[in-house]
Amino acid sequence: MDFKHRAENPYLLLTPGPLTTTPSVKEVMMKDWCTWDDDYNNLVQKIRKKLVRLATTKEELYTTILMQGSGTFSVESVIGTAIPRNGKLLALTNGAYGKRIVKIANKLHIDTMELDSGERAFPDLHQLEEQLMAHPDITHVTVVHCETTTGMLNPIKEIGDIVKRYNKTYVVDAMSSFGGIEMDIADLDIDYLISSANKCIQGVPGFGFIIAKIDVFKQCKGQGRSLSLDLYDQWETMESDNGKWRFTSPTHTVRAFYQAYLELEEEGGVKKRWERYHTNQRKLVEGMRKLGFETLLEDKCQSPIITAFYYPNNDQFRFQTFYDKLKAKGFVIYPGKVTDVATFRIGNIGDVKPNDIENLLKAIEESMYWISPQPQ
Ligand SMILES: *Cc1c(COP(=O)(O)O)cnc(C)c1O
């Protein structure tokens, strides 16, 4: 089993999940697992423990539940299980993933209010407080940590301080930041943190996970609005049956995740991973600005995870052509997701090193000739 990573993979994924995984993460998937055997379930339990440890030093207060599906399934399992029938949600939004939470809540007929700050601004803390004062029936507040739509890194500490002053349950979608940005969820007073296998832990897609505050979560028995996405039932089975999933678990993905987690430890933990992502992102932005590109966000709002760039100010620019040229050179980038301006995005999470970013910048420079006058 000799995986030649770059040779096997025709291109590097500069997309925020699925992302480029290491050869060793791919390699451990070459074995089949039995879902009720101890070998497998012990692995699940180890992962659950390790995730709590990664999230906080106050491990005794939190538990982890793994959930099949992509990250959205995990978000839906939290929204559908944590909010009681008479509950009310206030969703802070500034991008597509915040809005997805609103969509989920609407589908589930949950009483929901949205505080939208627009795609290029942080949530308005003053308005948040006003809404919480004006609507004492709000029970839960949601926010996205890194809004992957733009790369915006929302101030979850400042938001949490207000949410907790009003005694609300605090739900954070940290899908694209957990494992890549240091945080202690007990200090942040987060009740539910949601992430998934194929983001900063650098595993492959197939499941998400929720780190939940035990005393809050224990009150959710019987509240699930769906059978397969009932987070409480999933937890009960995992707790009582030593890591068993209720329904078929994504065994290969789980094994790959375990390996990815070990590699996060080997790299030196979240701080070191953050440094790599941060270096990637700074190099990328510096290089892109030299080439004449502009970032959508101001630097102070920007996460080290993904960066949105405006299309160049040139009528000849076609994203698809740009994309195809870069793909042929070994780099896959991401289309934009902002609603009112034309952007594209470049992620730098995954097995991506500063050297890869330098090569990407060269490829971008070469790929731009077609929109400039031909050199004589
Ligand atoms: C990736 C992501 C999700 C989940 O998306 P899926 O396509 O369901 O995996 C949710 N929120 C954020 C902020 C994300 O980056």
How many Å lie between the centroid of ligand 1 and the Cα of residue 375? 43
167: left (phi over 0), alpha (psi -120 to 50) or beta: left
Given the structure tokens 């994309």, which residue do they identify?
323
Give the pLDDT of residue 348. 93
Task: Give the model's confidence band at 9: pLDDT under 50 very low, under 70 low, under 90 confident, else very high.
Answer: confident
Give the pLDDT of residue 276. 98
Whether residue 290 sits in one domain with residue 152: no
298 Cβ partners below 8 Å, 6+ apart? none
Whether residue 75 sits in one domain with residue 59: yes
Going from the C-alpha of 308 to that of each of 118, 193, 311, 344, 370, the distances in angstroms are 15, 25, 10, 6, 22
How far apart (Å, rounded) are the C-alpha atoms in residues 163 and 322? Answer: 43
- Do 264 and 201 contact (CB within 8 A), yes or no? yes
User: What tokens appear for 128 in the block?
Assistant: 């948040």
Whether residue 277 sits in one domain with residue 241: no
How many Å lie between the centroid of ligand 1 and the Cα of residue 74? 9
How far apart (Å, rounded) are the C-alpha atoms in residues 247 and 67? Answer: 10
Taking alpha carbons only, the member of 116, 88, 142, 281 closest to residue 200 is 281
Which of 209, 234, 266 is the last residue in one of the domains?
266
With a 6 A CB cut-off, is 144 part of the ligand 1 pocket?
yes
Q: Considering its fold, how many domains does the chain have in total?
A: 2
Whether residue 339 sits in one domain with residue 234: no
Task: Give the model's confidence band at 374: pLDDT under 50 very low, under 70 low, under 90 confident, else very high.
Answer: very low
Whether residue 143 sits in one domain with residue 219: yes
Over residues 13-38, the mean pLDDT reads 92
- Do 263 and 24 contact (CB within 8 A), yes or no? yes
> Running DSSP on this structure, what letter comes out for residue 138?
-
Give the pLDDT of residue 8. 65
- Do 14 and 347 contact (CB within 8 A), yes or no? yes
Taking alpha carbons only, the member of 67, 149, 168, 139 closest to residue 100 is 149
Range of the domain at 228: 24-266
326 occurs within a structural domain:
yes
Q: Is the pLDDT of residue 93 over 80?
A: yes
Give the pLDDT of residue 17. 82
Pocket test for ligand 1, best of 72, 204, 305 (most atoms within 8 A of CB): 72
Give the pLDDT of residue 213. 98
Which of 266, 281, 312 is the last residue in one of the domains?
266
18 occurs within a structural domain:
no
Give the pLDDT of residue 104. 98
Given the structure tokens 């707790």, which residue do they identify?
239
The model's pLDDT over 236-263, given as tens digits with 9 standing for 90+, comes to 999 999 999 999 999 999 999 999 999 9
371 occurs within a structural domain:
no
Whether residue 87 sits in one domain with residue 69: yes
How far apart (Å, rounded) are the C-alpha atoms in residues 283 and 287? Answer: 6
Whether residue 311 sits in one domain with residue 209: no
How many Å lie between the centroid of ligand 1 and the Cα of residue 316? 32
User: What tokens appear for 247 in the block?
Assistant: 């329904």
Q: Residue 169 corresponds to which amino acid?
A: T
- Do 235 and 217 contact (CB within 8 A), yes or no? yes
302: which strand partners?
152
Whether residue 63 sits in one domain with residue 194: yes
Q: What is the CATH number of the domain that holds 350?
A: 3.90.1150.10
Whether residue 166 sits in one domain with residue 32: yes
Percent of the chain with pLDDT over 90: 90
Give the pLDDT of residue 225. 98
With a 6 A CB cut-off, is 70 part of the ligand 1 pocket?
yes
Q: What are phi and psi of 346, to 5 degrees?
A: -130, 120
Q: What is the pTM for the complete model shown?
A: 0.96
Give the pLDDT of residue 36. 83
With a 6 A CB cut-off, is 97 part of the ligand 1 pocket?
yes
Atom of ligand 1 minimally distant from the CA of 146: 13
Ligand 1 atom 3, closest CA: 71
With a 6 A CB cut-off, is 175 part of the ligand 1 pocket?
yes
Whether residue 297 sits in one domain with residue 149: no
Whether residue 174 sits in one domain with residue 84: yes
Whether residue 71 sits in one domain with residue 172: yes
